[in-house]
Amino acid sequence: MNKLSQNAPAKDAGRSKLAALNAWVAEVAALTRPDSIHWCDGSDAENDALIAQMEADGTLIRLNTETHPRSWLHRSHPDDVARVEHLTFVCTPQQDDAGPNNHWMPPADGHAKMDALFDGCMAGRTMYVIPYCMGPIDSPLSRCGVEITDSPYVVANMRIMTRMGAPSLARIEREGSFVKGLHSIGELDPNRRFIMHFPEELTIKSYGSGYGGNALLGKKCHALRIASYQAKSEGWLAEHMLILGLENPQGETHYIAAAFPSACGKTNLAMLIPPEGYRKDGWKVWTIGDDICWMRPGADGRLYAINPEAGFFGVAPGTSQTSNPNALKTIQHDTIFTNVAVTGDNQPWWEGLDKREPAIDWRGNDYDFSKGTPAAHPNSRFTVSAKQCPSYSPKAEDPQGVPISAIVFGGRRASLVPLVFEARDWAHGVLVGAAMGSETTAAATGAVGVMRRDPMAMKPFCGYNFADYFSHWLSFDKPGAKLPKIFHVNWFRKGDDGRFLWPGFGDNLRVLEWMIKRVTGEAGAQETPIGNLPNVEDLNVAGLEFGNEARDKLFGFDQAGWRAEFESIGEYLDGYGPRMPQLLRKEQQRITEALN
């Protein structure tokens, strides 16, 4: 037995609320047959021992200790670098409950398939039991889970991404309920890889991958797929959204939740540094979260949100002093990098970081410039505690969450979609979210740059039928509700020459300011069938220069193009059949008529 495996199991008490947990751990151990079992307490000593073990066996490579203290590089199996949507299943008794948006399997078949893979898979390995809490440990909005895994890399990442260890176990003991997540890296064979969800059993089984979204089960599997299902039955929302606070010169802070598909700039927006003029005037952006948002109505009718995560699992390529200086500061120490390149002096490097030359590529080979392939994997990542971020808000730890003033949807759209528009009311806003489209990115395996509908950026993450999900969203509009305004943005509109028309990054603050001024009734807009668009003069564009093409495309609206778009949205909604809420269909028809 290694040093880590000598700790005692959780307080054994057949009578305590941990009985169910103890029984499940015993059942999993009987199936997977590990050499030893280690209950994670989340302590520094435990982490140090795990890191030392991973450094010794080559799982982690120490980076330059002067420039990046206590930071590590992990090189994954080259076939295991992203989420695998085609191998991700939602197992409900009725296929219709999973919906056309999910791959489906009957629960009994799902369990049988997974249990056959798990049979004996931990022989020769240590089985780690990770109690964790998604959200501040004392928040009524938080939920607990336990992940069992045979990957020490997963343990080290879960320690950063969640509130993991003894306090979570204590909460599980108090509450008695938790989400069960069983994970094994198996043989890392793409042909023996599945990520299965059993929402009605609050259970996840994941085999054959060590990649974040497939293996850190607190993240996409629990906090989105299982939580979205729980949220529907309990009257809240689990969303793929960043949360930020926008503080104005008067010292008032408005909170904004924004949904963008994976690798579309959520981390950059969440950590935005305002342009110089704004900074001088006293504007500030506070980071609450960069990927996931759980919201529920408070006693005053507003939606209150928490970030269930405790860290960032951010996309490295493109992160730079220009795009996200706060992220660069955040990842300067105590960070795990996965699949980045390294420089000659062993510093992490990725495309877009700076002009230095990488020496070793993400696979560990000497970097060969002549091949023209990227040195870092396009989906290379950093895992880092949110507390290291200079803009991290103390309100992120508030058990009550923060009140949301605006919800933003957005995607990568090279054409048609203007910079920003406002939905006229909640139902229209739900349609705007449901109709969202975006070009695919490297965050999932498969083709990149293909436009697909990605409602509320939840296409890969909604744990049940999208038609029911849209009904659930619509149900929040009831007497007494004080719902946020809903907006749509597109930072990625291109001109005829293929260049981006909007500067993006810090300048996105100008758009956020307009949104908050719409909320407070201080900014103007023109009404159009697709929603309220700012005139150029409604936005503070001081210091920016736009040619006619940029003005037209960013602030204008192309009626014929939108007519075609709404026809395609109608067809998309029809794909969900009779479960699609009539109200959404009516909204689509209302706008189609206005466009005609």
* CB-nearer residue toward Mn ion: 47 or 262: 262
CA–CA dist 17, 13 (Å, integer)? 8
Please pick, from the candidates 213, 378, 418, 433, the single residue that binds ligand OXD as defined by CB under 6 A.
213
* CB-nearer residue toward ligand OXD: 156 or 595: 156
Closest CA to 223 of 305, 149, 278: 305
Environment class of residue 449 by beta-carbon count within 10 Å: exposed (0-12), middle (13-18) or buried (19+)? exposed
CA–CA dist 550, 500 (Å, integer)? 9
CB of 213 to ligand OXD, least distance (A): 5
Number of residues in contact with ligand OXD under rule CB under 6 A: 7
CB of 447 to ligand OXD, least distance (A): 16
CB of 429 to Mn ion, least distance (A): 21
The owner of tokens 């989340």 is 42
CB of 451 to ligand OXD, least distance (A): 18
Cβ atoms within 10 Å, residue 210: 25
Residues 6+ apart with CB under 8 A from 118: 28, 31, 32, 182, 184, 205, 207
* CB-nearer residue toward Mn ion: 347 or 440: 440
* CB-nearer residue toward ligand OXD: 422 or 439: 439
- 404: helix, strand or coil: strand
Footprint on residues 272-301 left by ligand OXD (CB under 6 A): 291
Closest CA to 70 of 329, 310, 332, 362: 332
Q: Which does 83 bind (CB under 5 to 8 A by kind): Mn ion, ligand OXD, none?
A: ligand OXD
Footprint on residues 300-339 left by ligand OXD (CB under 6 A): 313
Footprint on residues 72-131 left by ligand OXD (CB under 6 A): 83
Q: Which does 587 bind (CB under 5 to 8 A by kind): ligand OXD, Mn ion, none?
A: none
CB of 467 to ligand OXD, least distance (A): 23
CA–CA dist 323, 345 (Å, integer)? 24
Binding mask 343-382 for ligand OXD (x = CB under 6 A): ----------------------------------------
Q: Which does 313 bind (CB under 5 to 8 A by kind): Mn ion, ligand OXD, none?
A: ligand OXD
Q: Which does 213 bind (CB under 5 to 8 A by kind): Mn ion, ligand OXD, none?
A: ligand OXD
Backbone angles phi, psi at 131, to 5 degrees: -80, 135
Is residue 464 within 8 Å of residue 228, measured between CB atoms? yes
Q: Which does 348 bind (CB under 5 to 8 A by kind): Mn ion, ligand OXD, none?
A: none
Stretch that binds Mn ion, among 246-254, 284-292, 347-355, 507-515 (CB under 5 A): 284-292
CA–CA dist 349, 356 (Å, integer)? 8
196 HSE (CA, 13 A, CB side): 27
Footprint on residues 245-264 left by Mn ion (CB under 5 A): 262
Please pick, from the candidates 291, 361, 439, 513, the single residue that binds Mn ion as defined by CB under 5 A.
291
Is residue 379 within 8 Å of residue 316, measured between CB atoms? no
CA–CA dist 212, 206 (Å, integer)? 11
Which position's Cβ is nearest Mn ion?
291
Closest CA to 330 of 413, 392, 259: 392
Residue 334 backbone class (left: φ over 0; alpha: ψ -120 to 50; beta: rest): left
Cα–Cα distances in Å, from 298 out to 141, 267, 455?
11, 27, 25
CB of 212 to ligand OXD, least distance (A): 6
Instruction: Assess whether 264 carries a catalytic annotation.
Output: yes
If one asks whether residue 142 binds Mn ion (CB under 5 A), the answer comes out as: no
Footprint on residues 466-505 left by ligand OXD (CB under 6 A): none
* CB-nearer residue toward ligand OXD: 338 or 465: 338
Residue 558: alpha-carbon gap to chain centroid? 32
Catalytic residue among 264, 293, 389, 462: 264
Please pick, from the candidates 155, 272, 423, 443, the single residue that binds ligand OXD as defined by CB under 6 A.
443
**Which positions are annotated as active-site residues?**
264
Q: Give the binding site for ligand OXD (CB under 6 A).
A: 83, 212-213, 262, 291, 313, 443
